[in-house]
């Protein structure tokens, strides 16, 4: 009897020790998908159980970032190609400074919110095969979205859209379904002045 799918990306939160970065999210999504397709028992749709990922040229499914995609991989199917979209800064205060909370350290504390998205392109040679592959991917992401949000210390992680099935212009007879994942996190930092804070201001009359 097949086991239930699970997340096996170890120490996911350690990826964000320096704060969330676009490249880190790309790497995390790639690792998450590789782990899912690495074992037959992890795959929910039994008709896709031969889509096993392995490192090297013998893999039955290509899982790669669009920035590392090469022309010789153009016909590799099935495939999951990961693309980063834009990030937006959502400012919540004047100059991003945290106001109204007294601090004893004399430092200036700042925070802002960053929101962004990635798109996973599910590619296959047949329309039905492409739809099944897309369903496998988005169901895995939806099922573990709460775990991913908590492990990566995000405010939001969710499947935002499953795009329409469409044919690929560069590969006749091949199909694609885009899946967009949205997420948001807080970016916080502290500015430590080198000089002590000014304690008082004395005004004097100046006479030339």
**For the segment 63-121, what is each residue's pLDDT rounded down to a tens digit?**
999 988 766 666 789 999 999 999 988 777 666 666 656 666 667 777 778 899 999 99
Find the largest Cα–Cα distance for the chain: 95
Mean pLDDT, residues 176-199 taken together: 80
Q: Give CA torsion, residues 69, 75, 80, 82, to 10 deg.
A: 30
CA distance 48 to 191: 52
Mean pLDDT, residues 160-189 taken together: 89
CA distance 72 to 74: 6
Is the model's pLDDT at 55 over the cut of 80?
yes
Nearest Cα neighbor of 141 from 120, 125, 115, 155 is 120
CA distance 122 to 175: 8
User: Residue 187: pLDDT band by 50, 70, 90 thresholds?
Assistant: confident
In angstroms, what is the C-alpha Rg of the chain?
24
DSSP for 75-102 reads T--SEEEEEEEEEEEE--SGGGB--S--
pTM confidence score: 0.78
Is 53:137 a contact under the CB 8 Å cutoff? no
Lowest mean pLDDT among 27-31, 99-103, 127-131: 99-103
pLDDT at 104: 66
Lowest mean pLDDT among 96-100, 157-161, 187-191: 96-100
Q: Phi-psi bin for 124: left (phi > 0), alpha (psi -120 to 50), beta?
A: beta
User: Residue 2: pLDDT band by 50, 70, 90 thresholds?
Assistant: very low
User: Residue 20: pLDDT band by 50, 70, 90 thresholds?
Assistant: confident
């Amino acid at each position: 009897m097949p086991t239930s799918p699970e997340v096996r990306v170890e120490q996911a939160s350690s990826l964000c020790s320096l704060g969330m970065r676009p490249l880190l999210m790309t790497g995390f999504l790639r690792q998450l998908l590789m782990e899912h397709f690495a074992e037959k028992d992890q795959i929910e749709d039994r008709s896709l159980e031969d889509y096993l990922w392995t490192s090297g040229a013998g893999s039955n499914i290509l899982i790669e970032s669009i920035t590392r995609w090469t022309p010789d991989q153009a016909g590799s199917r099935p495939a999951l190609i990961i693309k980063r979209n834009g990030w937006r800064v959502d400012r919540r205060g004047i100059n991003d400074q945290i106001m109204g909370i007294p601090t004893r350290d004399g430092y200036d504390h700042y925070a802002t919110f960053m929101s962004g998205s990635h798109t996973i392109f599910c590619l296959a040679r047949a329309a039905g095969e492409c739809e099944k592959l897309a369903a496998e991917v988005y169901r895995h992401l939806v099922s573990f979205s709460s775990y991913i949000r908590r492990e990566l210390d995000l405010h939001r992680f969710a499947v935002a859209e499953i795009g329409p099935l469409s044919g690929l212009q560069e590969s006749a007879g091949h199909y694609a379904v885009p899946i967009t994942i949205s997420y948001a996190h807080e970016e916080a930092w502290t500015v430590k002045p080198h000089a002590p804070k000014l304690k008082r201001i004395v005004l004097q009359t100046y006479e030339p």
